[in-house]
Amino acid sequence: MDLIAAIILGIVEGLTEFIPVSSTGHMILTAKAMGYNDQTPIMKTFEIIIQLGAILAIAIVYRHRILNLLGWTSSRPLRKPPVSAKRLNLIHVFLGIAPALGVAFLAKDFIKGLFSAETVLCALVAGGIFMMFAEWYNKAKTNIITAHELDDLTYKQALLIGLYQIISVLWPGFSRSGSTISGGMLSGVSYKAAADFSFLIAIPIMCAATGYELLESYRYFTPDVLGVFIAGFIVSFVVAYFVVLAFMKLIQKIRLTHFAIYRFILAAVFWLFMMQ
């Protein structure tokens, strides 16, 4: 892989990792368009590295919320945080990530066997339909919305979002953010609060996933590829940081249906390039 390819893939990862458009589908298509096999050990390791860049970006965006969860504010030192269901705490986070982590750990070999171009193509379409339904339901049943802000989230809603997240674990290309945001909206959470929670729980989920993958891939960190790995990491970090900021700023203007339509278009492109 050359430096230009690393930069392009870093941009794609940063653009797509945290918005509901399937970063998996985009990475497959981009690698294919540039003539790379995305299933080689080096490419899989590179993808892990650029995901770490995206994780760092989201951690910085939500740094104040993370520190508050850990019990730190500007006026007092780090200490055990109070546990209250009326304010987002670590129990909410645990409930949001435990189902997906449990399934990923118990079924990791089965999940790897599910990965194929056909699976991703179907996931793009199914995920788009699911997102459109969630948005319609959320609008039609406005009385079900009980969590307008992140701190309004109940333990039950956090767990439901965690359960919906399992779909993306078992179905490559469905989109983790798409399943969690849509699941939140179906569970009585506003679009903004669901997106906030989706981004927040992405940090431990992705850290666990990439950490596990790094244990198997660290031997591919060789001097001849270190430069492109670093370039991809930096580019992914910068792009993801600004994408998340822009998404949260424009969240009332960019609806899930817009992303769903984009997914349908991407599925058509995916079919033309990968399935012919």
pLDDT at residue number 138: 87
Instruction: Please state which of the ranges 83-87, 120-124, 156-160, 262-266 shows the lowest mean pLDDT.
Output: 83-87
Mean pLDDT of 104-111: 82
Q: Identify the band that residue 220 occupies on the pLDDT scale cut at 50, 70 and 90.
A: confident
Token output for 260: 């769903």
Phi-psi region of 173 (alpha: psi -120 to 50; beta: other; left: phi over 0): left
Contact 146, 188 (CB under 8 A): yes
pLDDT at residue number 2: 84
Residues in the chain: 276
What is the value of pTM for the model shown? 0.90
**Rounded Cα–Cα distance for residues 185 and 8 (Å):** 33
The alpha-helical segments, DSSP class H, found in the chain are 3-16, 23-33, 41-61, 63-69, 90-106, 108-114, 117-140, 155-170, 176-186, 191-217, 223-249, 256-274
**Rounded Cα–Cα distance for residues 91 and 155 (Å):** 7
Q: Is the pLDDT of residue 131 over 80?
A: yes
Q: Is the pLDDT of residue 247 over 90?
A: yes
Q: Identify the band that residue 125 occupies on the pLDDT scale cut at 50, 70 and 90.
A: very high
**Rounded Cα–Cα distance for residues 157 and 194 (Å):** 10
Contact 235, 14 (CB under 8 A): yes
- For the stretch 41-97, pLDDT in tens is 788 889 889 999 999 999 999 999 999 888 776 555 555 555 555 689 999 999 999
DSSP 220: G
